[in-house]
Amino acid sequence: MKKILLLTDFSEAAHKALQYARSFFSDTVADFHLLCAYPVEPDGFYSPKHVAETVHAAFVSQLRDVVKELHQQTNVDWHTFRSSAKPGKLIDIVREALDEEAYDLVVIGGKKDGTNELFGNSATQLIRQLNINVLVVPVDTDSKPIRSVVLAVDFANLKSCKLLCPVKEIVSLKGATLTLLTIDTPQKKSIRVEQEVRIRQFLAPIEPTVAHLQSPDARKGIDDYLAGHPVDLLITIPKHKGLADILTGNSVTRSLAYMPPVPMLTLYDDGSSDKPRLIEDLSNLDYAL
């Protein structure tokens, strides 16, 4: 069973994310936990305790109505829904939830709720600070079958193929096509043949298509590809999370997550490395990522 932590503030973006998540896991046993993090502002007339209790009751009531409606709408018996509301900052509340329970994925609606790309928004903050996979759903996304999946990462620096387990699972379950998108930028490290083979062996029996583009920077290359090809899901592995990377604009995933052009899944990299596999025959490998 998949355990999905779905963040909501009752906005249109949150509603779209909920509908998309239900469609995404329509063929999977899943437990959806709707979590609402809300601020409590002081009131000059009522006591802080009264304000806190009143606000909490209001959010809990809204969540119960949403869950009740979901139970009435669903026509499958392998989806369960529950909810909770807690006061505080979103990142703190989500961390508490992840400490209390193991989840497979955090889902958030993508909307421009930050000052600008440099300062980021809720989605960029979660991706940068959480040790879990995050799915960002654009507010204009329509729920539809996943037919085309694009994996855009720096394959030369991929230390652990185990990070690609969710990719294999999604592509296999959805019967989708998989494209390995690699962007050649100035001074980019070239991928070695052993790494190419290792990635393909891990993804087998899936046979991905390779898209090889040249561009002055990775973000422009990805945008150019998305502009010319139908893509249902973009998958990335964030690498540049430090403050210096943010200030210098090196974090490609951050810029994409701020206003994602398509639904985007970011895979958490814990920095581990798997052992290279022995290859006996390289004679038929004349392709490159």
pLDDT digits 0-9 by tens, 166-216: 999 999 999 999 999 988 888 776 677 788 888 999 999 999 998 988 888
Query: Final residue of a domain: which of 138, 160, 195?
Result: 138
The CB-based long-range contact list for 15-19 (8 Å cut-off, 24+ gap) reads 15/109, 16/109, 16/137, 16/138, 16/139, 16/140, 16/141, 17/107, 17/108, 17/109, 17/110, 17/135, 17/137, 18/70, 18/107, 19/143
Both 120 and 161 in one domain: the answer is no
Both 173 and 219 in one domain: the answer is yes
- Residue 66 CA: distances (Å) to CA of 135, 154, 275: 21, 40, 47
Both 158 and 99 in one domain: the answer is no
Question: What is the SS3 assignment for 31?
Answer: strand
Integer-rounded Cα radius of gyration of the chain: 21
Total of domains in the chain: 2
Over residues 265-274, mean pLDDT:
89
Residue 273 lies in a domain: no
- Residue 11 CA: distances (Å) to CA of 17, 19, 111: 10, 13, 10
Q: Are strands 134-138 and 79-87 parallel, antiparallel or unpaired?
A: unpaired
Confidence of residue 232 (pLDDT cuts 50, 70, 90): very high
**H or E element: which one contains 151?**
strand 148-152
Both 52 and 119 in one domain: the answer is yes
Over residues 42-61, mean pLDDT:
77
Both 63 and 164 in one domain: the answer is no
Q: Judge if the upstream peptide bond of residue 205 is cis by omega within 30 degrees of 0.
A: yes
Cα 33 from Cα 83, distance rounded (Å): 5
pLDDT of residue 14: 92
Residue 288 lies in a domain: no
Instruction: For residue 36, count CB atoms less than 10 angstroms from its CB and return exposed for 0-12, middle for 13-18, buried for 19 or more.
Output: buried
Query: Final residue of a domain: which of 138, 168, 186?
Result: 138
Both 235 and 163 in one domain: the answer is yes
Residue 278 lies in a domain: no
Both 172 and 194 in one domain: the answer is yes
Both 15 and 125 in one domain: the answer is yes
Residue 258 lies in a domain: yes
Cα 287 from Cα 289, distance rounded (Å): 7
Residue 276 lies in a domain: no
Which region holds residue 271: left if phi is over 0, alpha if psi is between -120 and 50, else beta?
Answer: left
Residue 280 lies in a domain: no
Q: What CATH number corresponds to the domain at position 52?
A: 3.40.50.620
Both 117 and 200 in one domain: the answer is no
Residue 271, C-beta contacts closer than 8 angstroms, at least 6 positions apart: 159
Residue 277 lies in a domain: no
Residue 143, C-beta contacts closer than 8 angstroms, at least 6 positions apart: 19, 20, 22, 23, 24
Both 21 and 90 in one domain: the answer is yes
pLDDT digits 0-9 by tens, 126-161: 998 999 999 999 988 888 899 999 999 888 888 899
Range of the domain at 180: 148-266
Cβ neighbour number for residue 133 with a 10 Å cutoff? 19
Q: Note the maximum CA span of the chain.
A: 79
- Residue 7 CA: distances (Å) to CA of 82, 93, 98, 191: 12, 10, 12, 38
On average, the pLDDT of the chain sits at 84
Both 123 and 203 in one domain: the answer is no
Residue 229 lies in a domain: yes
Question: What is the SS3 assignment for 209?
Answer: strand
Cβ neighbour number for residue 56 with a 10 Å cutoff? 15
Both 129 and 185 in one domain: the answer is no
Is pLDDT of 125 > 70?
yes
